[in-house]
């Protein structure tokens, strides 16, 4: 029995596929199969049952998996203690919500370059729903998203929150003071993509208040939402941090309403198992950067 065999056992069990485990471990599927067979022979027991082309953990495999996971965690902790932070290396697959892209992502990447010079980041910008699925399937190592993720296999680290505000071009005619929600929803509303929390909130409150929404402009691009609001195409529901300058310059008007959207709460989320020291270190660094940015 050796470390590679244990690592392979944990990844096959976690991903539920010899093919996916081979891709994760940068090796071939026959090599993965060979390691599992060798591990089973050294232990004198089957870890996976094989039937109809599918692999499932045996009862003994289920029993032994937590022990193998703990051994990998301890090995990673051992290596982490043995080396300095700047000697950590590897590829981190990072998913990021666009709100973070437009606020403190550049600060974070600069800190990474300074503190982890041997780490490469593969960056994906996507909506939270997609990144959650990719974290669960282990296609991402870490994600900065609207959280937390209510999944036992995922660890969440608090980052920051952003106020969402109703804004529009001064050319759009609206009453002064507190504007009724119905008056806002009579105009086209520019907001986040359909499979996001802000979009769902607007739909839910309109149904609850029995208000007919004139038109929704959902978009995966905050830059596009901001541009449409500036051009007077509708009323935007946007992070205040993204449009503070335009509000100060009176290019956009911040609207007070009888209903305000919830703040966007972000977390750095990553799979608990198998233990990934890079993801843990980067999540802690992201929390420091986010707290500095948000004050």
pLDDT at 81: 63
Longest dimension (CA), the chain: 78
CA gap 9, 13 in Å, rounded: 6
Reference 116, options 154, 83, 139; nearest CA is: 83
pLDDT at 239: 93
- Predicted TM-score (pTM) above 0.85: no
Position 176 pLDDT exceeds 80: yes
DSSP 263: P
pLDDT at 250: 93
Query: Percent of the chain beyond pLDDT 70?
Result: 96
Q: Which residues contact 251 (CB under 8 A, 6 or more apart)?
A: 169, 170, 230
pLDDT band, residue 168 (cuts 50/70/90): very high
pLDDT digits (tens, 9 = 90+) for 12-42: 888 888 888 888 888 898 888 899 889 888 8
Structure tokens at 73: 């965690």
Buried b (16+ CB within 10 A) or exposed e, 130-158: bbbebbeebbbbbbbbbbbbeeeebbbbe
pLDDT at 189: 92
Burial tier of 37 (Cβ tally within 10 Å: 0-12, 13-18, 19+) = middle
Q: Which residues contact 227 (CB under 8 A, 6 or more apart)?
A: none
pLDDT at 209: 87
pLDDT band, residue 263 (cuts 50/70/90): very high
pLDDT at 18: 87
For tokens 């590679």, the residue is 4
Position 85 pLDDT exceeds 60: no
User: What's the rounded mean pLDDT across residues 96-101?
Assistant: 94
Q: Which residues pair with 216 in a beta bridge?
A: 189
DSSP 104: T
User: What's the rounded mean pLDDT across residues 192-203?
Assistant: 88
- Long-range contacts of 48-53, Cβ-Cβ distance < 8 Å, separation of 24 or more: 48/12
Mean pLDDT, the chain, rounded, equals: 88
pLDDT at 52: 66
pLDDT at 215: 86
């Amino acid at each position: 029995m050796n470390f590679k065999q244990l690592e392979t056992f944990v990844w096959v069990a976690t991903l539920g596929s010899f093919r996916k485990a081979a891709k994760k471990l940068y090796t071939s599927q026959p090599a993965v199969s060979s390691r599992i067979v060798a591990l089973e022979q050294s232990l004198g027991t089957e870890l996976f049952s094989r039937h109809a082309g599918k692999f499932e953990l045996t009862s003994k495999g289920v029993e032994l998996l937590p022990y193998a996971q703990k051994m990998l965690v301890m090995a990673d902790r051992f290596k982490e203690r043995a080396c300095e932070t700047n000697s950590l290396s590897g590829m981190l697959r990072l998913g990021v919500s666009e709100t973070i892209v437009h606020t403190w992502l550049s600060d974070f990447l600069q800190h990474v370059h300074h503190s982890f010079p041997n780490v490469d980041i593969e960056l994906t910008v996507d909506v939270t729903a997609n990144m959650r699925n990719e974290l669960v399937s282990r296609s991402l190592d870490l994600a900065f998203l609207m959280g937390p993720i209510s999944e036992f296999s995922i660890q969440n680290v608090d980052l920051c929150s952003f106020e969402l505000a109703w804004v529009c071009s001064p050319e759009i005619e609206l009453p002064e003071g507190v504007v009724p929600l119905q008056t806002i929803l009579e105009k086209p509303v520019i907001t986040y993509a359909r499979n996001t929390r802000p979009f769902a909130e607007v739909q839910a409150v309109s149904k609850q208040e029995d208000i007919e929404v004139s038109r929704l402009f959902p978009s995966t691009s905050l830059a596009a939402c901001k541009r449409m609001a500036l051009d007077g195409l509708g009323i935007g529901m946007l992070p205040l941090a993204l449009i503070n300058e335009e509000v100060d310059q009176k290019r956009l008007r911040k609207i007070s309403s009888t209903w305000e959207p919830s703040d966007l709460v972000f977390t750095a989320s990553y799979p608990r198992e198998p233990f990934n020291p890079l993801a843990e270190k980067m999540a802690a660094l992201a929390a420091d950067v986010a707290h500095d940015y948000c004050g």
